[in-house]
Homo-oligomer: A and B are copies of this chain.
Amino acid sequence: MPSSIYHATAQIHPYADTIAMWIDGQLIDGQFAPQALNGMATLSEAQANEISFMADPKLIGEAEASKAGLIITPVGCELSGKARVEVEHVWGAVEVILRRLYPPELSNPGIHSTAIVGEGVKLGEGVTVGPYCVIGDRCELADGATLGPHCILDKDCQVGSGSRLLARVTLSGPVTLGQRVLIHPGAVLGADGFKFEPSEGRPLKIPQVGRVLVEDDVEIGANTTIDRAFLHETRIGHDTKIDNQVQIAHNVEIGPGCLLAAQVGIAGSTRLGKGCMLGGRACLRDNLTIGDGVMIGGAAGVHTDWPEGSTIMGTPAMEMKAFWRVAAAEKKLPEYVKRLRAAERKLEQRQP
């Protein structure tokens, strides 16, 4: 096994002043920078020919100890004796540098000879369809849409321009994807919602005939599942980002700009406002209404509606401050029980 820590090799090797230009920052003590920079690394792992960054001023000690050849810092950083670039937004700068150093390898547009394309399929300009894809009748792929290997599209799906299904993505019912949607391997969109009614002692399946609608700039993680609606649509708002192994049931509506961490589960017809953040493993009951900007802690279990701006945690979920007070008290519960008994004994002893 390799014992050395992995450092990704950049596609290009820029000078420090080029990097400052990319990120609209000020190069300071540039004389300490190496001739060319080979990639990005953390403060502790970076070598003399690598770039690093200090997003949090608390890391000044680590920055001083770092071997990095160039460090991206916030404006006014007290670091000295090192080549650095000061910027307003460190993470924004990191994003730009990474995108330039490690551009995604472009696939050659075209339909792979092994792809199976149904009848009446419409393909835009510069579409890529990878090996062993199966595209159902009447699907539409807009300009620049990319299907990696082994993607399966049921009939009547639409993929917006610039959207990328990386590999082995399945659109199982009618699914409409907006522009620049990114879907990781193993995701399944459009499977039947889970709707059964009792009927003579056996569950009766209610047919699911709605669709999934994913708006622009959404990202969907590996092995995530988003069910088609019973009627009408399950909707994921634009700019919403969904991690791995998330389950979104039929007729759920998620507002724009939400972040759903891994293993979240949302039951049928629940609605989230815009800009909500759900920690890993949070789960929500069916038919809830969650307001804009609600923050839900990891592993929370939500049974009721919550208004705009709430920050909640626990199962059943409560406001975060209340949750931590309750959790602290719970931990001492056996002690409180002893004290209750002691109080009871004292009262008993003084009975007249």
Binding site for B on A (CB under 8 A): 1-2, 5-8, 40-42, 45, 89, 91-92, 94-95, 98-99, 101-102, 105, 114, 116, 130-132, 134, 148-150, 152, 154-155, 160, 166-168, 170, 172, 174, 176, 178, 184-186, 188, 191-192, 194, 196-197, 199, 201-207, 209-211, 213, 215-217, 219, 221-223, 225, 227, 229, 231-233, 238-239, 241, 243-245, 247, 249, 257, 259, 261-263, 265, 267, 275, 280-281, 283, 285, 298-299, 301, 314-316, 318, 322, 325-327, 329-334, 336-337, 339-340, 343-344, 346-347, 350
Contacts and interface: CB of A to CB of B under 8 A. Distances in A.
A241 to B, nearest CB: 5
A203 B262 contact: no
A215 to B, nearest CB: 5
Contacts of A188: 184-186, 222-223, 244
A266 B299 CA distance: 12
Given A92-B204, A325-B334, 7 more contacts: A2-B213, A6-B229, A8-B174, A8-B209, A167-B170, A188-B244, A332-B337
A222 B343 contact: no
A41 B95 contact: no
A281 B265 contact: yes
24 contacts: A1-B178, A42-B232, A94-B206, A95-B197, A98-B207, A114-B116, A116-B131, A132-B134, A168-B170, A186-B225, A188-B223, A188-B244, A191-B221, A201-B257, A205-B241, A225-B262, A265-B281, A267-B298, A325-B333, A330-B330, A330-B333, A332-B337, A333-B333, A343-B347
A330 B204 CA distance: 39
Contacts of A233: 5-6
Contacts of A247: 244-245, 262-263, 280
